[in-house]
C-alpha cells in the first residue's frame, strides 16, 4: 500500500477502471493504492435515507462510495494493537494509516445499519429492517466484506405511555425498533488478513420518538448486577460509589416486551452461541455505533465482559457518542480490560452531553471543552455527585474538527454530528 498527499481537490470517486490489482480512491487529497480491487458500489435503486440525525447532507459525495479500506494490509500479529491492547499509544497523533482504515471499515458497518433502517413513518413496517440478513450488507452498499450477518438486533423503550398514544403516528408510538446487527467474518482470506476471526456488532443512532425521549432521561441510575466493590484511583482516594449509567440508555438496552426480547437478551444469546462455535479460535468482538448507538455499544461491551468471564478481546469504536456513565462505571470498564476508542468531532455538541464532568483527570478531554469543578471541599463534591448528573469520559479519544475541513459544505449542529461527517474527517485527518 502506498499513500501520497496531493494538492487540495474536491472529493471524487474515479469512474474509470485501472489495471487489475490496482485501485485508487481520492477523497480530500488522500490517495491509496491497494493490492486488490476495492468494491464499495451502491445499490442505486434504494431510496435516500432520511432520519433526524441526517437532517442535512454535509458532503457533496457519498462516503460509502469513496471510503478506502485497509483490506490489502495484513494486520497479522499486530491486530490487538489496532484494537487497543496498548490503548492506541503512538497510533492516534498522527493517525496511523492502518488504524485509519480499520476505523473507516467499522464506520461503514454503522452506515449500513442506517441505510437498512426503514425511516418511512407512513409505512406499516416503520422501524423494521429493510433487508434480510443474507443481502443486507450488499444492498446497503458494502460488497465482499467477508462478513455474514448472524442476528438482527432490536431496542425497546421502557417508557410507559398512555393507551391513547397507540392512535398516534408510528414515529411516536413505536416502542421497539430494529437498531443493528451482528456479523461474523467468514472469509478465510479476510480472517488471515485480520489475524483473527472478527465479530462485529453495529448499532445505528436515534430514529424513533421514544428513542429521543429516552435520550433526555439523563440522570444516572445503577447498573444491575454490577461489581460494587470500592475502586481505588492513582491518587489513593477510594471511590465507594456504584457504577451508574444514563437512565435512558440503560432502558433501551434492558427493556423488552412479551413479543420482543431486550437488546441485552439478544446480544447475550448471540454472543453465547458464537463463543461456543468459535471460542477455540483467535477471536475479537468489535462493537461500533454512532450517537445513541455509540452509547449502547459501550453498555453492550460492559455487559459482555460482565456476563462472559472468558470473553475474548472486546473493543468499542464509537462515533459521536454522548457520555454514558459515572467514574465508577469507567473504572469497571478499565478493570474488565474493555477497550474504548471514541472518535469525537470537537464541534459536535452531542459529545459534550449529558451531565457534566467533575473529575479533573477524565480521559483525554481538554478542560476547555467541559465543565470541570476543581478544588472543592470533599463534602461539596459529594453533594454534587449525589445529584446523579456527574459523568466521566471513557477510553481514548481521537479528536477531529469539522471546521478545519474545507470540503464540508455546511457547518452546523446537525452536520457536525452526522456520521458521514465523521467518516469524512477520519479519511481527511
Given the C-alpha cell 460482565, which residue does it identify? 306
* C-alpha distance from residue 15 to each of 19, 24, 43, 427 (Å): 13, 10, 16, 20
* C-alpha distance from residue 207 to each of 44, 122, 178, 181, 293 (Å): 23, 14, 10, 16, 11
Q: Which three cell numbers stand for residue 182?
A: 451482528
- Measured in whole angstroms, the distance separating CA 378 from the mean position of its chain's CA atoms is 35
What are the residue numbers of the active site? Answer: 291, 348, 417
Pairing of strands 283-290, 231-232: unpaired
Question: CA–CA separation, 179 vs 274, rounded Å?
Answer: 20
Confirm if 341 and 318 have CB atoms less than 8 A apart: yes
Q: Which three cell numbers stand for residue 299?
A: 453498555
Given the C-alpha cell 497523533, which residue does it identify? 93
Confirm if 343 and 396 have CB atoms less than 8 A apart: no
* C-alpha distance from residue 339 to each of 32, 109, 342 (Å): 28, 19, 10
Name residue 344's beta-bridge partners. 399
* C-alpha distance from residue 149 to each of 58, 248, 268 (Å): 29, 28, 16
Question: CA–CA separation, 227 vs 183, rounded Å?
Answer: 30
- Measured in whole angstroms, the distance separating CA 221 from the mean position of its chain's CA atoms is 22
Q: Which three cell numbers stand for residue 328?
A: 465508577
Q: Which three cell numbers stand for residue 55?
A: 437532517
DSSP type of residue 114? H
Considering only CA atoms, give the Rg of the chain: 21
Q: Which three cell numbers stand for residue 272?
A: 453465547
* C-alpha distance from residue 306 to each of 33, 175, 243, 274, 302 (Å): 42, 27, 12, 17, 6
Q: Which three cell numbers stand for residue 92?
A: 492516534
* C-alpha distance from residue 111 to each of 45, 63, 230 (Å): 17, 9, 39
Amino acid at each position: 500500500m502506498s499513500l501520497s498527499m496531493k494538492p487540495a481537490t474536491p472529493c471524487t470517486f474515479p469512474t474509470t477502471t485501472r489495471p487489475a490489482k490496482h485501485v485508487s480512491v481520492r477523497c480530500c487529497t488522500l490517495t491509496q493504492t491497494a493490492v486488490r480491487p476495492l468494491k464499495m458500489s451502491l445499490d442505486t435503486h434504494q431510496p435516500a435515507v432520511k432520519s433526524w440525525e441526517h437532517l442535512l447532507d454535509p458532503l457533496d459525495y457519498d462516503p460509502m462510495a469513496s471510503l478506502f479500506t485497509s483490506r490489502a494490509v495484513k494486520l497479522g500479529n499486530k491486530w490487538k494493537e489496532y484494537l487497543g491492547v496498548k490503548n492506541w499509544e503512538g497510533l492516534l497523533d498522527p493517525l496511523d494509516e492502518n488504524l485509519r482504515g480499520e476505523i473507516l471499515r467499522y464506520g461503514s458497518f454503522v452506515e449500513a445499519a442506517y441505510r437498512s433502517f426503514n425511516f418511512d413513518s407512513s409505512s406499516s413496517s416503520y422501524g423494521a429492517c429493510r433487508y434480510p440478513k443474507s443481502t443486507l450488507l450488499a444492498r446497503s452498499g458494502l460488497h465482499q466484506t467477508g462478513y455474514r450477518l448472524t442476528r438482527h438486533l432490536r431496542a425497546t423503550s421502557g417508557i410507559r405511555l398512555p393507551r391513547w398514544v397507540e392512535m398516534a403516528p408510528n414515529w411516536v408510538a413505536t416502542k421497539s425498533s430494529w437498531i443493528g446487527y451482528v456479523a461474523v467474518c467468514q472469509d478465510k482470506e479476510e480472517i488471515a488478513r485480520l489475524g483473527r476471526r472478527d465479530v462485529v456488532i453495529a448499532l445505528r443512532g436515534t430514529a424513533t420518538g421514544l428513542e429521543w425521549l429516552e435520550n433526555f432521561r439523563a440522570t444516572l441510575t445503577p447498573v444491575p448486577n454490577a461489581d460494587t466493590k470500592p475502586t481505588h484511583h492513582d491518587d489513593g482516594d477510594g471511590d465507594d460509589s456504584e457504577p451508574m449509567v444514563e437512565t435512558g440508555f440503560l432502558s433501551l438496552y434492558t427493556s423488552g416486551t412479551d413479543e420482543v426480547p431486550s437488546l441485552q437478551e439478544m446480544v447475550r444469546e448471540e454472543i453465547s452461541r458464537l463463543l461456543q462455535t468459535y471460542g477455540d479460535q483467535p477471536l475479537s468482538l468489535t462493537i461500533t455505533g454512532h450517537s445513541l448507538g455509540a452509547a449502547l455499544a459501550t453498555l453492550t461491551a460492559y455487559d459482555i465482559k460482565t456476563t462472559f468471564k472468558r470473553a475474548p478481546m472486546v473493543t468499542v469504536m464509537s462515533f459521536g457518542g454522548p457520555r454514558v456513565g459515572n467514574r465508577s462505571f469507567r473504572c469497571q470498564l478499565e478493570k474488565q480490560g474493555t477497550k474504548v476508542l471514541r472518535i469525537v468531532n470537537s464541534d459536535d455538541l452531542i459529545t459534550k452531553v449529558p451531565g457534566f464532568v467533575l473529575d479533573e483527570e477524565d480521559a483525554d478531554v481538554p478542560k476547555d471543552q467541559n465543565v470541570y469543578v476543581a478544588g472543592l471541599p470533599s463534602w461539596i463534591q459529594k453533594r454534587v455527585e449525589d445529584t446523579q448528573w456527574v459523568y466521566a469520559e471513557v477510553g481514548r479519544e481521537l479528536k477531529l474538527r469539522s471546521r478545519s475541513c474545507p470540503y464540508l459544505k455546511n457547518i452546523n449542529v446537525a452536520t457536525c454530528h452526522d456520521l458521514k461527517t465523521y467518516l469524512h474527517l477520519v479519511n481527511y485527518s
